[in-house]
Chains A and B, each alone.
Chain A
């Protein structure tokens, strides 16, 4: 399994998830114009606190990017440190969301109480679920980092097979047909003609880059959700 296949896979997942959130957001907007949507429910939302949370979540995208850059330079200490900070930022966001939920439920705004409650909790809840899944994956990344899976091999010439799986994929797991050996010796035996066999083998198989696609996507979704749920009502009179 090479890095670029994983990335393509995650890009396809993000593509389908984007449509999922698009449907939830459009449903929220659609219901906001329905009769059961009571504008005074919106005033219970605390744009200040959630704004800070939003900023922290956006910040976590940057810290994850810094973790990736540290990893790209072979600096595993920077990788671990930035990963931990990313995890903490994500956790703060989730805790903030949980506190907001508790406050709303104390104000008798629940899934059952109104259309606003139903669509608000569904939209932000599904996003929170995605943040939670992201945190689980990032924790796995962090554990792997501490176990040394992302360490650069000392001697770059002879990378051991377990730290650089992309470089030394065993022939029997090669997914695609081998090129006709005698006639056309080609380098791209393992994954078709167009894979990035020229890209340097990264320890960890590029898993971090794949996870980062997901995490950035979750952040971008939140920016849209925040804009629609918290910011736009300040300027409209629904």
Chain B
């Protein structure tokens, strides 16, 4: 054989990238460890949220005053298309998969995903899909037909530059990544659970991701089929969506929203899972109505396939069709409402710790309810006819996406950052971030409801100086910069914590699920050496309880705040092989500061 390249095996779950280690980057690229891949997903998400956020701020500058000429109209179209596509496919999805592949094996007591190489493949497909999409900027113009890319605007005779082609290819590539990762997650959850962890004892985060994976596997094929047809239309002159030549532009809308509406739940269900963990741990109570939280996600997943046409009320279906889809859309509010009440009931009577993570969870309850109520309003199709394609729509879906999904991801970040890096995020700076973010977000989007109701259409690059338009848009722009500032602050907080954050022990929150049962934070490359069989739904909590009292108290609601002095029930026979030994010998002392 010729020259052989030595592929470095990562020696730690968090290999350094410094110049002193010539193989630092190569260790990341060659990694198949689920924790390293999870971190790479999360970093991808952070990079793309900065890109997508900059696009949003540029649009807000353009809209700050009437008749502005800051952006060219064509650039504005490209920016809102790229903003939406980026935020859905390359911020929300990678962040969700990052948490999923990092924490699912840990939470079910496994040492790896079922197919580690497939896991790496899924990540790289997602990343390269994103790069392919962004390459369009230097290849003659980004896609400019909106994130849902309606026909016939997406056809060659209306969008003749290559932006839509890159859009289709990028989403196909990243879609393949999402599909294989979901397959991987399903097999992992079905086959790799620790003894005793029946499906009705899964942590709720795992439950949500598990349901979500089935939802994703059913929804993404519709997008992939539509994108394949679109590429055939554009590259080989087929006529699927070209109404002039006998095709059907409506077919694109049907296929896209058969994917698109489940996609909305694909990004919100994992956030629900994160909240279900955060509410439990920081209320010091087991979740209220575990079975209802789990089953209502299944209900949401099933219902999500019967509501797609509520995105299409304006195309002029018959009243029967409109009524059916209006009614089915309102049904979704029931399982979602069940969840909201379960979380409130979890907090009820609990010993609430107002950590930054919990603050985000509480703000979610309010913001997501606002987004949910405007959503129910849309299900009444006369209201939809009045408000469709106005800023009311923009306000609605930003309340569910930011107030729901991003808030969930941030709650997860403050909850799991100590586990991923071994360092605490600064809680005090975190509070500043929280308030800046919440004020910036609500300031930006709450008044957009009003803008929509007084008739401002979305996706226009500028507007005449009608009454109230200027002042409301200007307020919106100012607060959008507050939100942008808060994201900068978050990046700064994370950087500071990575360099000299307070060391977090293996279990800083005295938590309930098995990811906190690893010897160290970050967990060693081999997650667990041994774990006893699981008996209850709060696996790690039960183990800690039985270690102190000798009996399992799985249903104890008023749990003691302080963990037992030595919460490691099984003594580890092997000495730690991890190069990052536990930095804090007394992790419990940290609890007083941070909780």
Contact = CB atoms under 8 A, between A and B. Distances in A.
Contacts of A20: 221, 224-225
Interface string A102-133: 00000000011011011100100010000000
B251 A16 contact: no
Interface string B554-595: 000000000000000010010000000000000000000000
B258 interface: yes
Given A20-B224, A176-B194, A194-B193, A8 B111 contact: no
A35 B246 contact: yes
A30 B226 CA distance: 13
A22 B222 CA distance: 9
B530 A27 contact: no
Contacts of B229: 27, 118, 122
Contact of A178 (B108, B236, B255, B529): B529
B234 to A, nearest CB: 12
A179 B232 contact: no
A99 B455 CA distance: 58
B187 interface: yes
Nearest to A30: B251
B251 to A, nearest CB: 6
B183 A16 contact: yes
Given A12-B186, A13-B183, A19 B221 contact: yes
Nearest to B252: A27
B110 A114 contact: no
Contact of A192 (B184, B192, B246): B192
B220 interface: yes
A226 interface: no
B251 A31 contact: yes
Interface string A159-199: 00000000000000011111111011010100111110000
B110 A192 contact: yes
Contacts of A12: 182-183, 186-187, 217
A184 B533 contact: yes
Given A8-B187, A20-B225, A37-B246, A111 B192 contact: no
B285 to A, nearest CB: 27
B222 A23 contact: yes
B529 A111 contact: no
A23 B532 contact: no
A112 to B, nearest CB: 4
B399 to A, nearest CB: 30
Given A16-B220, A27-B240, A5 B191 contact: yes
Interface in A15-32: 15-17, 19-20, 22-24, 27, 30-31
B245 A36 contact: yes
Contact of B191 (A4, A34, A115, A174): A4
In this complex, the member of B108, B225, B248 whose beta carbon has the largest number of chain A beta carbons within 10 angstroms is: B225
Contacts of A118: 229, 232-233, 238-240, 247
Given A176-B194, A188-B195, A23 B258 contact: yes
A144 interface: no
B114 A9 contact: yes
B235 to A, nearest CB: 10
A114 B278 CA distance: 55
B239 to A, nearest CB: 6
In this complex, the member of B191, B193, B224, B238 whose beta carbon has the largest number of chain A beta carbons within 10 angstroms is: B191
A122 B232 contact: yes
A34 to B, nearest CB: 5
Contacts of B247: 31, 34, 36, 115, 118
B531 interface: yes
B225 A23 contact: yes
B192 A191 contact: yes
A30 B248 contact: yes
A30 B222 CA distance: 14
A180 B531 contact: yes
Given A8-B186, A12-B217, A192 B193 contact: yes
Contact of A16 (B217, B240, B258): B217
A112 B238 contact: yes
A115 B110 CA distance: 50
B528 interface: yes
Given A9-B114, A16-B218, A36-B245, A27 B251 contact: yes
A129 to B, nearest CB: 11
Nearest to A195: B191
B179 interface: yes
B503 interface: no
A92 to B, nearest CB: 27
Contact of B179 (A16, A34, A112, A191): A16
B225 A175 contact: no
Contacts of A37: 246
A12 B189 CA distance: 13
A24 B196 CA distance: 42
A187 to B, nearest CB: 10
A9 B237 contact: no
Interface in B378-398: none
A19 B217 contact: yes
B179 A175 contact: no
B254 interface: yes
B530 A179 contact: yes
A183 B570 CA distance: 10
Given A30-B254, A122-B228, A177 B221 contact: no
A176 B529 contact: no
Nearest to B534: A193
In this complex, the member of A34, A175, A184 whose beta carbon has the largest number of chain B beta carbons within 10 angstroms is: A175
Contacts of B245: 36, 115
A184 B246 contact: no
B115 interface: yes
* Complex A-B, nearest 9 residue pairs according to Cβ-Cβ distance, in ascending order: A36-B246, A20-B221, A193-B195, A177-B528, A118-B238, A16-B217, A23-B225, A19-B221, A112-B237
8 contacts: A31-B247, A114-B239, A115-B245, A122-B232, A177-B109, A177-B110, A192-B108, A192-B191
Interface of B: 108-112, 114-115, 179, 182-184, 186-187, 190-197, 214, 217-222, 224-226, 228-229, 232-233, 236-240, 245-248, 251, 254-255, 258, 527-533, 570, 573
Interface of A: 1-2, 4-5, 8-9, 12-13, 15-17, 19-20, 22-24, 27, 30-31, 34-37, 111-112, 114-115, 117-119, 122, 126, 174-181, 183-184, 186, 188, 191-195
